[in-house]
Amino acid sequence: MHVTRRFWIHLAVICMTSLGGCKPSNSDSPESQATRIASLSPAMTMTLQQAGLGKHIVGRSAFCRDVEQLPTVGDLQRVNPEQLVRLTPSHVFIQRPLESVDRGLRQLAQLHGWTIVAQRLVDLHDVAELVRRLPVIFPAAGINEKCDQLMTEIEDALQLVEMTASPSVLIVTPGPSPLAWGGDTYLGQLVEAAGGTNLLPDSEWRSLSLEDIVRLHPDLLLVPADGDPGDLTALQAAVGTDCLRVLSCSAIDVPGPHLATLAPQIRSILSSYTYPP
């Protein structure tokens, strides 16, 4: 997270004027016991909502969906310290491993008694780990049953399907410079679980040219889309119309429990594939 000198100037001003000095929150006060969540990631926000914690979100990133009425407090790159302190969150959720959280944000959280919840979110195991942690972090929220349900759905989506043949698959976004989803991503996991062979097995995301796609020659080209996938002419020219399938799911570009609903769609696409004669 990029923190400039201005961050610390803002922090000093806030501590000396708005708050009358930087002091940790009083853990015995009713206000400090209230759950107030600032989320710096759309994926974190969506997972919190699906777990039943949406009503506790008080701050968001500029990219979070369905919470546009809430104030923006920052994102993975920058944080607005004035807004964050003003909102008095109890928890700050950030989509990073804990060791990658910026020192300035950690110090700010320590000064004000906030809990930082940091989690890598690249694949569905990461998502399941976050869901598993939520009832532990918020034991009084009554979300155990909902989180158990979400984890079961993720586990079911990742159940391996045995197939007599395993079609080779590329998952790419449309456009002149396609971005491919490797085997280490959540879509890559779902394809592997459904019996497909990702042609980029040890990658997260990788930029490909149309020439790369032609050279890799996938049996199936899957195009993730949240709504209209747009112009697919270039991709169709690279692999042929018969090889291209669109994966449709709301917020398909945001890692979260909702992606488990893609499993039946992917299984259907792969199981119905027939090799050309």
Say which CATH number the domain at 263 has.
3.40.50.1980
Q: Write out the residue range of the structural domain in which residue 263 sits.
A: 168-271
Among the listed ranges 25-39, 120-134, 147-161, which one has the minimum average pLDDT value? 25-39
Position 252 pLDDT exceeds 80: yes
Q: Is residue 183 part of a domain?
A: yes
Position 125 pLDDT exceeds 70: yes
Identify the domain boundary among 88, 120, 152.
120
Q: Is residue 207 part of a domain?
A: yes
Q: Pick the more confident residue, 22 or 61.
A: 61
Domain shared by 90 and 11, yes or no:
yes
Q: Is residue 265 part of a domain?
A: yes
Identify the domain boundary among 84, 101, 120.
120
Share of residues in the chain with pLDDT > 90 (%): 68
DSSP calls for the chain: ----HHHHHHHHHIIIIISSS-----TTSHHHHS--EEE--HHHHHHHHHTT-GGGEEEB-TT-SS-TTSPB-B-SS-B-HHHHHHH--SEEEESS-GGGS-HHHHHHHHHHTPEEEE---SSHHHHHHHHHHHHHH-TTS--HHHHHHHHHHHHHHT-----SS--EEEEB--SSS-EEE-TTSHHHHHHHHTT-EESSTT-SEEE--HHHHHHH--SEEEEEESS-----HHHHHHH-GGGEEEEE-TTTTS-SGGGGGGHHHHHHHHHT-----
Q: What is the mean pLDDT of residues 125-132?
A: 97
pLDDT tens column, 67-96 = 989 999 988 788 888 999 999 999 999 999
Q: Is residue 102 part of a domain?
A: yes
Domain shared by 192 and 108, yes or no:
no
Share of residues in the chain with pLDDT > 70 (%): 88
Q: Pick the more confident residue, 126 or 202.
A: 126
pLDDT of residue 25: 36
Q: Is residue 63 part of a domain?
A: yes
Q: What is the mean pLDDT of residues 207-215?
A: 93
Q: Is residue 139 part of a domain?
A: no
CA proximity to 36, closest of 91, 73, 114? 91
Q: What is the total count of domains within the chain?
A: 2
Q: Is residue 154 part of a domain?
A: no
